[in-house]
Amino acid sequence: MKIAIASDHGGFHLKQAILNFLEEKEYLYQDFGCYSTDSVDFPEYARLVSKEVVQNQSLGILCCGTGIGMSIAANKVHGVRASVVSDPFSAIMTRKHNNSNIICLGERTLGKDLALLLLDLWLSTEFEGGRHQKRLEKIE
């Protein structure tokens, strides 16, 4: 599965660390920007990743200062279930019960090591389906 990834200027350094992680783990990915710490508007990057995730049924990673802005913007795209995570339990449960398809991480709120741990947990967790699928259908 190909992963779509993007950041704004506030998440640029975290995105670079994640790109290294994805390469080490041999994940296929497409980087939708941004490509520097120059100020940009995060909704543009959230939309690029969100559309890719919905169109290709892939997973997405969005990074900004807190993860919150990216999450709000991404969730405006029909079919996206973007979640900000800050602890291991949330990273697991957002996939296991909510089948989130985009993880949102904050460079200014998480250290690199914690962010990579959360991402690894999120990527390795499968959706349980069952009663949780019925709930997702109610969201749609």
- Provide the annotated active-site residues: 64, 97
Yes or no: say if 125 and 95 are a contact pair by the CB < 8 Å rule. Answer: yes
Task: Dihedral sign for Cα 97, 116, 65, 27, please.
Answer: negative
Find all residues with CB under 8 Å of 125, minimum gap 6, and list them.
91, 92, 95, 96
Please give the annotated binding residues for D-ribulose 5-phosphate, written as ranges.
8-9, 65-69, 98, 108, 131, 135
Please give the annotated binding residues, written as ranges.
8-9, 65-69, 98, 108, 131, 135
